[in-house]
Amino acid sequence: MSSDAVIFEKIAVAVAFSPRCEAILAEARLLQQTFGSNMVFIHVGKNSLQEELYLKHLLHRFGLDQPENKTIWKEGDPVDVILEICQQEKIDLLVAGALEKESLLKYFMGGVSRQLSRKVKCSLLMLTEPNIHPKGLTQIVVEGTDHPKTENTIAVAVEVAKAYHAKKVNIIQESDLSKLALIRSDELKENEAGLRKKQLLKEEDEKLKEILRCTDCGNLEVKVERIEGKPGYVISKFARDCQADLLVVSSPDKQLNLLDRVFPHDIEYALSDLPCNLLIVHSKEQD
């Protein structure tokens, strides 16, 4: 299983010696095989001989101890260190384990993987249920909202789906009609309101059609669906309801902070309660 288009040349894996460490490395192995990427393993903490030997053993066990792969040990704040290494090593994809839901306090304070998702300048894969025997991906849900980043996000999602031989990709157009409500409250006839809504959505539909026309989807079953509601929340709910394996969204436009958690929007809805594995696509063109 290997992708023709190498979308993640260099993948970094945040390694913590947690109970899920082995499962995350097993998933990393599958990623390397799928994309033919070079790997960087990052561990933030003191370099003890015992842990070093254990990591070497694990990397050997999963066939990840090739000479082109690299292991970095560094002390410091986990988030800062990982971000720094990702930038230095020009990482394309960072892989980290993440709990589906964090305690309220931890969520507001920010656990490591959540903090990374808000700050990292490369794509990030948050694995909620890594498996020692990776199952691959069957169903992928992708954000198809009208945004300059969407084209790249869909392209990456399609490549990932093809590489993993996924069966289905659902592209979700989230329509936040709250703006329409502003006008409706003024003085629109019902048919006029419908017309306005159509006008608003027609433009979005055409843009998405154009994106899909330019994307080579191969034999992949691609389904486009429009759901009304709060962006971020509706796609997250959809991914949960259809038991998707992976949710693919664009990276946030600006660095998110505590206020974005207090007044959540977009990706914060997904981060507050991850419906499945989450891939946040960072478009290099946007840098």
What are 261-269's contacts with CB under 8 Å, separation 24+? 261/107, 261/108, 261/110, 262/108, 264/232, 265/230, 265/231, 265/232, 266/231, 266/232, 267/117, 267/232, 268/232, 269/230, 269/232, 269/233, 269/236
Which residue, 93 or 234, has its beta carbon nearer to other proteins?
234
Residue listed under structure tokens 């990052």:
42
Residue list 184-203, contact with other proteins (CB under 8 A): 184-187, 196, 200, 203
16 forms part of the interface with other proteins (CB under 8 A): no
Count of residues that interact with other proteins, criterion CB under 8 A: 29
| Binding mask of the shown chain, residues 230 to 249, with x at each position contacting other proteins by CB under 8 A | x--x----------------
Answer for which of 72, 180, 212, 220 binds other proteins (CB under 8 A) is 180
Residue listed under structure tokens 């033919």:
36
Cβ–Cβ under 8 Å, residues 176 and 186: no
Which residue, 100 or 228, has its beta carbon nearer to other proteins?
228
Answer for which of 99, 177, 212, 220 binds other proteins (CB under 8 A) is 177
Alpha helices in 135-232 (DSSP H): 150-163, 178-187, 190-213
Q: Phi, psi at residue 251, to the nearest 5°? A: -70, 150
226 forms part of the interface with other proteins (CB under 8 A): no
Which residue, 49 or 104, has its beta carbon nearer to other proteins?
104
Residue list 121-160, contact with other proteins (CB under 8 A): 146
> Shortest Cβ distance from residue 146 to other proteins (Å)?
8
